[in-house]
Amino acid sequence: MSSGASGSARTRYAILGCGSVGHAVAEELTERGKDVLILDRDESRVEALRDQDLNARVQDIADADVVDEIGDRDIVLILASDVEANKAAVSAVRETGGDHYVVVRASDPVSEDELRERGADVVINPSTVIADSALQSLETGELEYMARQLAEIIETGGDRMAILTHDNPEPDSIASATALQAIAEAFGVEADIVYSGDVGHQENRAFVNLLGIDLLARSEAPDLSEYGTVAAVDLAKSADEGFDFDVEIDIYLDHLEAEVPFDARFVDVRTNVSSTSTILTKYLQEFDQSPSEAVATALLYGIRAETLDFKRDTTPADLTAAAYLHPFANHDTLEQVESPSMSPETLDVLAEAIQNREVQGSHLFSTAGFIRDREALAQAAQHLLNLEGITTTAVLGIADEKIFLAARSKDIRLNIGNVLDEAFSEMGDAAGHSTQGSLEIPLGIFTGIEASGENRDTLLHLTEEAVRRKLFDALGVEGGSGDGSNGS
C-alpha cells in the first residue's frame, strides 16, 4: 500500500435513487473527484446521467438484488423521493450483513424513526434541512441588520460615548464594555467605561490591571448627559434599581432578560447564549474587526468566567466565539488572571468560613463575621464548594451596616439565585442564577439592634441564626435551627 494514498481517495459511493436531490449530490461528489455509482429505475433518467459522463445503471432500488450492484461500495446514499423504496433498500443492505455506511432520505418524523430502526446510520429529512438552513440564514441576516443599526447609532451620536457596566462589575460585563469601546473607537468615537460600586474580587482586579483596562467610577466620571451616546452592557444583574440613570439609554446589550423592562433605542438581548462577551464577539466579526490582544483576552476570559470554563450552560455560539478569540488572546495573561495571589483579607474570611461552617446534608452555611471586603465572601463560598459531599454553600458577612451573603451551588436540581430571591426579596436585594447568587439586606431588619462595640457578637449571632434558618427553610433542609455538624 502506498503511504501517500489518502482514505478519502479510496472511498467509493453509491447513490440509490437519482431525483433532484440525488443528482445534486452526485454532481458535487464527482466534482470532488469521488468514485460514484448511480442506480435508478428510470431508464431515460439513467441515459441522461450517462450523457453527463456519470456512472449510472438501471436498477429498481426496492428490489432485494440491489445489494449485488453495491457490493464494492463503502458509502451508500439512498435518496429516492419514494420513501417505501428507501425503506426496502435499507433493509436489503442491512440483511446482507455488510458494513456499508448508509445515509437515507426520509419524508417525515415517522419515516425517520422507521429508517433508523431498519439500520440507517444517518437519516435526512429534506424539509428539516431546508428549515435549518433558512433559520441559519435568518440569524445571519438578523445580525447583519442589527449591526447596521448599531453602527448608525454610534456614528451619529457624537464623538463621545459612555458605556455602563452593572454594579460591582464582573469579567463578562467588563469584557463586553471593552469590546464595545473598541467598536466605538473604530467608528471614531471615544468611549469611557463607567461603573458603580467596586471592582472588589481579586481576580477581577487582576483582570483589569493586567489588561490595562481603564474604568471610570461613576462618582468620578462626567455627568451622563455630557455624552453623545450612552450604552449599557450586561446590566440585567442590576435590574432591581430599575435602570434609573436620569438619561436616555441608546444601546443595551445583554444575555439575560431583566426583570425590569429596559427601554433603549437599540436593544439586543440574546438568552440563547451564556455571556454578553459572546454577543460582542459576534459584532466584532460582523464589523470585520480583528480584536486586539487585550480585547480578545478580555472577551475570552469573560466567556470562560460566565460558563465556569465551559462547564455551565455553554452553547455552541459560546464555543465558536471562544474558538475565534483563542488565537488573538494572550494565554499567559489569562493564566495570571485566573491564579492571582490571595489577599490577607480573603484568607481571613476563608479561615473564618471554614471554622464556622455548618453542614446539613449536602448544604453548607457559614459566617465570616464582620468583614472589610465583601467580594471575599464569594471566593470563600466557591472554595467551600470543593468540600467532599457539598453541593451548595452560603457564606454570610456584615459590613457597612448591611448583611451580605454569597452562595454557590453545583446541584443541577437547584437554582440558588431563585432560592435567594424567593426567601429574601422582600427584605433586601437578591440576585443570581442557577449556580451562584448574592444577597444584600439592611442590618437591622432581623434584629432592630444597631452595631456597636458592645453588641457586635450578639448582633452577629442573631443575624446568622435568622438568615441560616430562613435559607435552610427555603432549601427544604431539615435542621435549620442549628443542630447540624461542621462537616468535620
What is the per-residue pLDDT for 134? 76
Structure pTM?
A: 0.61
Neighbouring C-alpha atoms within 13 Å toward the C-beta of 396: 26
From 398, 405, 404, select the one nearest 457 (Cα to Cα).
398
User: Sheet holding 160-164: strands in order across?
Assistant: 215-217, 190-195, 160-164, 229-233, 249-254, 264-269
Give the pairing of strands 101-105 and 190-195.
unpaired
Greatest extent of the chain over all pairs of C-alpha atoms, in Å: 101
Cell 442590576 locates to 238
Residues in the chain: 488
Q: Which domains does the chain have, with CATH numbers?
A: 12-124 (3.40.50.720), 139-338 (3.90.1640.10), 344-475 (3.10.310.30)
Partners of residue 366 on adjacent β-strands:
395
Cell 465556569 locates to 308
What is the per-residue pLDDT for 295? 95
Calpha distance 330→297 (Å, rounded): 6
Cell of 440: 444584600
Q: Which amino acid is at 13?
A: Y
Calpha distance 376→395 (Å, rounded): 10
pLDDT tens across the length of the chain (488 residues): 333 434 444 789 999 999 888 999 999 999 988 999 999 999 999 999 999 999 999 999 999 999 999 988 999 999 998 999 999 999 999 988 778 999 999 988 888 899 999 999 999 988 888 777 777 777 777 888 999 999 999 999 889 999 999 877 888 999 999 999 999 999 999 999 998 877 766 677 778 888 888 888 888 889 988 999 999 998 876 554 445 556 788 999 999 887 766 778 999 999 889 999 999 999 999 999 999 999 999 999 999 988 878 877 889 999 999 999 999 999 988 888 776 556 777 888 889 999 999 999 999 999 998 888 787 888 889 889 889 999 999 999 988 788 899 999 988 888 888 899 888 888 888 887 778 888 888 876 655 555 555 667 777 888 888 899 989 998 887 654 444 555 54
Calpha distance 457→453 (Å, rounded): 9
- Residue 388, judged by CB atoms within 10 A of its CB (0-12, 13-18, 19+), counts as exposed
Give the pairing of strands 429-432 and 436-442.
antiparallel
From 163, 158, 188, select the one nearest 176 (Cα to Cα).
163
Calpha distance 28→46 (Å, rounded): 17
The alpha-helical segments, DSSP class H, found in 187-309 are 202-211, 276-286, 293-306
Cell of 293: 490582544
Check the CA dihedral 277-282-283-288 and report its sign: positive
Cell of 295: 480585547
Q: What letters, b where the CB count within 10 A reaches 16 and e where it falls short, cover 398-434? A: bbeebbbbbbbbbeeebbbbebbbebbeebbbbbbbb
Number of H helices, E strands in the chain: 18, 18
Residues 6+ apart with CB under 8 A from 311: none
